[in-house]
Structure 1
């Protein structure tokens, strides 16, 4: 097991390692996912969030062993980069990697658990916050701040931004960090970063207006580019879902 702790973590490292060892049988399940699992552990009175990444396919087992950084390592390193750039994310604690011979097994990313008031999804779903103009506008300004600091969050989707409501505004925390790029972005790329968020036109207009005000760009141009990207994404998404349904039906017919 390859183990790397953050130099800023002063807590109980032995307890963290025991939590990894007993991940399958202990801890409180936080999120049911097909690919990865998240559990919460109480370590000396503090709640720790541990994400277990599934064993990769055979090609990535070799790649993660010799060529690429694992998802856990990237999550850990990107969390530190975000904090250096003064972007909020739950504090990184450690990452663990199972390595054996020429292959790679499971990996784990450990961070402090954050209790938030809502996620971005609550802004677009049926919740008391749905369509909240103040928070949507603040989120758009936050996204512009990411772009200004040359952070391209590839998984900028409804479940990956946690929101805390403060007396003087809102704090946004990024999670699920293993897919990011860093560097300057052109206008088209920045607008594309909104494509997986809301598909409700009125909400997109609120975000476009706020982003344009923050960036100094034309609001009609910003909205047009945002909306075009969202529609393109929705079209690709539905084509993919229809293909999966047809494939599933074909498999059932074949085995019947």
Structure 2
């Protein structure tokens, strides 16, 4: 087994190893677990969150052992980098990899479990959510900060930002599902707008986001930002719907 434990949690290494060993038969399932399984465990007085990544197919088992870092390792390392850059994410605790001669068997990413009020998704599904516009504008500033720091979060989608109210009208944001990221010296305008395309298809939300983004990105007008953000969103939705139709057709012909 390959392991790396956050220096602040080294004294819990044996506890963590025991939890990983009994992962399948213990813990409390969190979320729907369609692809990966997430469970909650108690580590002394702290609740921890462990993601067990889906066992990769044969080709990727070889790739993840010999040529590319596993999703668990990337999640741990990216979380560490985000915190170093002042970006919110649950505290990384450890990652574990089980391998054999053929390649990666299974892998786990361990982090603190954060209890928050909502995710970005609720801003879409509950348009009258209290303080909705203020949260959306603060989220946009958070996204702008990501871009200024050269962080391209490839899974910047509705369920992957946790939102916590910290005081009256003030919120903090935490990224989760971290295994796909790029880091740049500087992000272009096109990269920034493309990075926001998966968040919402609601034009009224994009209007607010582009207005807020324009306050900080001074080289483009609000209208230019809105037009590009909306164009990228529409292009993404078209591609998404096209893939969905294709999958449906393939499923029909296989049945």
Tell me which residue corresponds to 1:233. Answer: 236
Q: What stretches of structure 1 of length at least 5 have no aligned partner?
A: none
Q: What SS does the corresponding residue of 2:61 show, helix, strand or coil?
A: helix
Distance 1:129 1:159 in 2: 16
Per-residue CA shift, 1:127-155, capped at 9, x if unaligned? 75288111111111100000001110000
Q: What stretches of structure 2 of length at least 5 have no aligned partner?
A: none
Q: What SS does the corresponding residue of 1:214 show, helix, strand or coil?
A: coil
Counterparts of residues 173-188 of structure 1 (less than 5 Å)? 173-183=174-184, 184-188=186-190
CA positional deviation for 1:248: 0.9
Distance 2:245 2:29 in 1: 32
Distance 1:130 1:31 in 2: 24
CA positional deviation for 1:7: 1.5
Tell me which residue corresponds to 1:203. Answer: 205
Give the count of matched residue pairs.
252
CA positional deviation for 1:32: 1.7
CA positional deviation for 1:11: 5.0
Distance 1:99 1:46 in 2: 29
Tell me which residue corresponds to 2:17. Answer: 17
Aligned pair partner of 1:192 in 187, 194, 197: 194
Q: What SS does the corresponding residue of 1:63 show, helix, strand or coil?
A: helix
CA positional deviation for 1:40: 0.1
Tell me which residue corresponds to 1:33. Answer: 33
Query: Taking structure 2 as the reference length, what is the TM-score of the superposition?
Result: 0.96
Q: 1:140 to 1:235 in 2, by over 3 A?
A: same
Could you list the structure 1 runs, at least 4 aligned residues long, displaced by more than 3 angstroms after superposition.
none
Q: What SS does the corresponding residue of 2:96 show, helix, strand or coil?
A: strand
Tell me which residue corresponds to 2:250. Answer: 247
